[in-house]
Amino acid sequence: MHKIAVLPGDGIGPEVTDAALEVLKKADELYGLGLEFEQFEFGGAAIDAYGEPYPEPTRKGVAAADAVLLGAIGGPKWDDVPREIRAETGLLALRKDQGLFANLRPARVLEGLEELSPLKPEIARGVDVLIVRELTGGIYFGQPRGMSEAEAWNTLRYSRPEVERVARVAFEAAAKRRKKLTSVEKANVLEVGEFWRKTVLEVAAEYPQVELEHQYVDAMAMHLITHPADFDVVVTSNIFGDILSDLASVLPGSLGLLPSASLGDGTPLFEPVHGSAPDIAGKGLANPTAAILSAAMLATYALNRPEVGAAIERATAAALKTTRTRDLGGNAGTAEFTNAVLEALSG
């Protein structure tokens, strides 16, 4: 059995998580995944129940699980709580606890949805890129750091194991996809870039089936706009990944379409990129696509059943052809769209 810890969270979190759970349960029925679900409080809901966003029962549930499916957290109700117990602090603690050092953000323009992209349809067509961002190292965490009246400083530093492990996650992901990996750095200016490139090249020897290329980050920013469909998996450092994943996230044209995964030493985490959308919470209007695609990533990366992940993705793409929620210009509610996915999945 695979234990899934379910953390619905706040706002539209519970609505989109319910939708993703229905899809996972149907996939379990069809493909025999052997799933067991247990729900825990997290974020604002946990602040209300326990006075903290990541209480002990949730921490234990996450540690004992094979994967975490998270909805969304936070909202105006908890905006004024002290920083140590903010909903977002709970998410940082979960990532740290579980050693989640790789963040995976796919951006895909689905067939028939090219018109949602801000790019010309002929450029947007076929975009299916996965950004793998190093999440726990690099300049956001490097010491020394500080600021005085006269100057401010941060440190960009990566160790060999830090680069190797995120590179392996990226090569593994590429091996499950179109077998192409682009490593992004600034090797022409930064020693860390040169070291990153050399280390990724060494790891490449373990994955002869994956084609590797290197790009400088400035050129990559241009390529992601001018010919985004050329890329499969992209691996990069924390700060470059922060920027490039946000750049790539606008390609599909709606926040409601973007899933994510965080992988590392402990229990992997799967969650939509969007927030708790308090403006539409509780109305049955939320687009559950990002949550459902996060469940597809769970099947691919936590259960190692990429064929099931792909089947969920295909069913979602099929549903989007006929049934769309308001953020995509349609008038379907969460339940109607979810039913369309379930129907497509059942074939």
Question: Site residues for ligand ATP, window 6-65 (CB under 6 A)?
Answer: 12, 16
Of all residues in the shown chain, the one whose CB is closest to ligand ATP is: 275
- Identify the residue among 256, 259, 264, 333 touching ligand ATP (CB under 6 A): 256
- Identify the residue among 27, 119, 269, 280 touching ligand ATP (CB under 6 A): 280
CB atoms within 10 A of CB 56: 9
Closer residue to ligand ATP in complex, CB, 199/294: 294
Closer residue to ligand ATP in complex, CB, 76/121: 76
CB atoms within 10 A of CB 89: 17
CA distance 318 to 198: 42
> Look-up: residue for tokens 């076929």?
126
Binding to ligand ATP by CB under 6 A, coded x per residue (else -) over 71-100, reads ---x--------------------------
Residues 44, 75 contacting (CB under 8 angstroms):
yes
31 is catalytic: no
Q: Which of 28, 158, 186, 327 is catalytic?
A: 186
- Identify the residue among 5, 244, 286, 296 touching ligand ATP (CB under 6 A): 286
The dihedrals phi and psi of 342, each to the nearest 5 degrees, come to -60, -40
230 is catalytic: no
25 is catalytic: no
**153: part of which helix (H) or strand (E)?**
strand 152-153
186 is catalytic: yes
Q: Interface with ligand ATP includes 274 (CB under 6 A)?
A: yes
- Identify the residue among 17, 245, 287, 294 touching ligand ATP (CB under 6 A): 287
Closer residue to ligand ATP in complex, CB, 290/298: 290
Sequence-separated (6 or more) residues with CB below 8 Å from residue 48: none
218 is catalytic: yes
Q: Which of 218, 265, 279, 321 is catalytic?
A: 218
Instruction: Categorise residue 323: left if φ over 0, alpha if ψ from -120 to 50, beta otherwise.
Output: beta
Q: Which of 140, 180, 216, 230 is catalytic?
A: 140
Closer residue to ligand ATP in complex, CB, 199/254: 254
Bridge partners, 2 (sequence order) = 35
**Half-sphere exposure in the Cβ direction for 43 (13 Å, CA):** 22
- Identify the residue among 79, 111, 191, 279 touching ligand ATP (CB under 6 A): 279
What Cα–Cα distance (Å) separates residue 32 from each residue in 17, 36, 68, 305, 308?
21, 12, 19, 11, 10
The nearest distance, CB 287 to ligand ATP, in angstroms, is 3
Burial profile 193-214: b = 16 or more Cβ within 10 angstroms, e = fewer: bebbbebbeebbeebeebebeb
Q: Interface with ligand ATP includes 252 (CB under 6 A)?
A: no
**How many residues lie near ligand ATP (CB under 6 A)?**
15
Alpha helices in the chain (DSSP H): 13-31, 44-50, 56-64, 87-97, 121-124, 160-176, 191-204, 217-226, 238-249, 289-297, 306-322, 334-346
Applying CB under 6 A, the residues found at the interface with ligand ATP are 12, 16, 74, 255-256, 274-277, 279-280, 286-287, 290, 327
Catalytic residues, by residue number, are 140, 186, 218, 242, 246
